[in-house]
Amino acid sequence: MSDMAFRIEAVRARIRAAAQAAGRDPAGIRLVGVSKTHPVEAVHAAFAAGLVDFGENRVQELVPKMEAGPPGAVWHMIGTLQTNKIRHLAGRVDWIHSVPGAAALHEISKRAVAHGRTIRVLLQVNISGEGTKSGCEPDELPALVAAAAGLPGVDLRGLMGMAAPADDPETVRPQFALLRQLRDRHLSPAHELSMGMSHDLEAAIAEGATMVRVGTAIFGERDYLQT
């Protein structure tokens, strides 16, 4: 087994264990490998080891990786979304997790329709209560859900959130629980919950995550000076 295959399997084992502890089917949890700052060769290696879903947090990194990556990869935009950059993504991206508001929804719709595509989107919600975190506020959700319902080319599939960094991820479980409650109230239990990263995926799965976004545990530490 390659190092890459070994690390992916280790993350899948964590997902299985967390699902089992929560009485959930691990097949209901999609692993999105966050390849940001790592070269496209790492994406090819991970794809060869069986990983299909890849996430990036910057448009200028996602676009070239979508072009040079494996043709069968499923691509997720997970980072802060600037409305004026959506047109660069719309021809290829499969999921956008980080939709912060109505302007972005309208732009995704317009650009997806121009490409004859439908893009799956998640509304990002500020669950950490930190001013610096992007995403809408919980009380904006009803209006955004209603707006998405009327837009062609946009398939609203659920919610995304990031918990505050914490030494003990158990302490941020209430933030994940909040996202689940918001989903159940404003969408349905069948909708997606994108939450959980390398250090807190167990807590997120315990609270119902259906997509976990894992970078470091698969690709290793990031060296931001390289990018």
Ligand X SMILES: *Cc1c(COP(=O)(O)O)cnc(C)c1O
Q: DSSP per residue over 53-86, as a string?
A: EEEES-HHHHHHHHHHS-TT-EEEE-SPPPGGGH
Which pair of structure tokens corresponds to residue 224?
């931001």
Residue 32 or 108: which CB sits closer to ligand X? 32
Residue 79 or 169: which CB sits closer to ligand X? 79
Residue 43 or 78: which CB sits closer to ligand X? 78
Question: Residue 155 in 3-state DSSP?
Answer: strand
Shortest CB 98 distance to ligand X, Å: 7
Shortest CB 71 distance to ligand X, Å: 24
Residue 83 or 134: which CB sits closer to ligand X? 134
Shortest CB 124 distance to ligand X, Å: 9
Q: 62-93: string of b/e by CB count within 10 Å (b at 16+)?
A: bbebbeebeeebebbbbbebeeebbeebbebb
Return residues touching ligand X (CB under 6 A).
34, 36, 57, 78-79, 162, 197-199, 213-217
d(CA 227, CA 222): 10
Shortest CB 132 distance to ligand X, Å: 13
Give residue number: closest CB to ligand X: 215
